[in-house]
Amino acid sequence: MAPTNMLSSDSHIVEPPDLWSTRLDREYRERGPTVRRLDDADWWFIDGRQTMSFVGFQTGVRFDKDGSELKTSSSFGDVRRGAYDPRAFIDENERDGVVGSVLYPSQGLMCFGIPDSALCSATMRAYNDALADFCSEDRRRLKGVGMVNVDDPLEGIREMTRCRDLGLGAVMITVSPPPEKPYDHPMYEPFWSAAEDLAMPVAMHVATGRTALSPDPNQTSILNVAASALCMQDVLFRKSIADIILGGVFERHPKLRMGSVEHEVSWIPYFLWQMDYCYTDRPARAHWHRYKDKDALPSRYWRDHMWVSFQEDPHLTRIIDVVGVETLAWGSDYPHTESTFPQSRAMIDRFLAGVPETHQRAIVRENTARLFAFDV
């Protein structure tokens, strides 16, 4: 049976339509996220660009209906109350066996793709204020992850510090920084140091690319959706994690903790092997980083510094020893369409069948509790 008192390392709020119109700095309000009615659904627009409709209106429906019956758009009036009311959120998740949740945005994910850096940062500050208010309902059970723009790492440090002071439990940065500014660039060194000093975990969530505002809301082919899902792991690894590990960021910042959120886990063993192989068996090129510890491998830094928030992965039991049980943290993804809610217990029973109880507890509770300082 699934362990009791589960913690979700990846849940979401659904932002009310007036979040940015009431909280965003006045100079940016006309360009910030706003809601427009199109045909029979409400859609978010940012700086005149259409992004996404409201989610959280069909949580759990996938267990009862065929995929062809699921929808991609709705109005805010259709969104379940627990997605934006913190007390309802806590009560509803507790019935699903989840007593504490790490909270990410919904529409806010799209803010990472805003080209104007000042507007991008302003939207994140407004969201962080709203998230802190949401979590104030019960900070033992609700751990918010603030959004931080690191185009200017010093500005990012100020906002990360503010997030800590607001009571948020971690911060999230873009999963895909500009190609000319990869995460092993010296410009980020002060940010990594500050994250260590503040003891703030740093997450990289799916759909937070710095250069793509949103998927095409009008796309009609499953190929576009599948390609997007399959390339996310490549983007995360190639543009972020590989630069961080192979560039020596974790070696220089031994207390830094970073997370891959909602990218699942089956892809990880190959990439860990490929990193180790390239490090040990490929001819060294100019400026290749070499660890001071001659016996160290890239995969060691993965296990010492990374966590992986996943939802459901049918191959999990085959790869726990390779990925590292200490890196794995289950999340329900409530209240999104893909969520395991309200069948989280049954699904955990299924995909952790045969896994030792100590590993199960680590994956569905203890790792998340340690990372985000839960005491529930």
Q: Is the pTM of this model over 0.85?
A: yes
Looking at the domain assignment, is residue 94 inside a domain? yes
CATH code of residue 197: 3.20.20.140
Summary mean pLDDT of the chain: 92
Token pair 């979590």 is at which residue? Answer: 135
Q: Average pLDDT of 10-17?
A: 98
Q: Considering its fold, how many domains does the chain have in total?
A: 1
| Tokens representing residue 4 in the block | 């009791």
Q: Is the pLDDT confidence value at 91 over 80? A: yes
Q: Average pLDDT of 173-201?
A: 96
Looking at the domain assignment, is residue 1 inside a domain? no
Which of 236, 307, 262, 234 is CA-nearest to residue 105?
262
The secondary structure of residue 74, as a DSSP letter, is B
Looking at the domain assignment, is residue 358 inside a domain? yes
Question: Given this model, what pLDDT does residue 211 score?
Answer: 77
Which of 375, 248, 363 is CA-nearest to residue 309?
363
Looking at the domain assignment, is residue 112 inside a domain? yes
Q: Average pLDDT of 72-82?
A: 96
Token pair 């020596």 is at which residue? Answer: 248
Domain span at residue 91 reads: 6-372
Looking at the domain assignment, is residue 131 inside a domain? yes
Q: Where are the beta strands (DSSP E) in 148-262?
A: 170-172, 202-205, 258-261
CA dist., res. 101 & res. 230, Å (int) = 26
pLDDT digits 0-9 by tens, 231-260: 455 556 666 899 999 999 999 999 999 999
- Give the count of alpha carbons within 13 A of 246, CB side only: 22
Confidence of residue 188 (pLDDT cuts 50, 70, 90): very high
Confidence of residue 130 (pLDDT cuts 50, 70, 90): very high
Looking at the domain assignment, is residue 23 inside a domain? yes
Question: Given this model, what pLDDT does residue 79 score?
Answer: 98
Looking at the domain assignment, is residue 248 inside a domain? yes
Question: Given this model, what pLDDT does residue 40 score?
Answer: 85
Q: Average pLDDT of 210-239?
A: 54
Please enumerate in sequence order all residues whose Cβ is within 8 A of that of 5, keeping only pairs 6 or more positions apart, or say none.
Answer: 97, 99, 365, 376
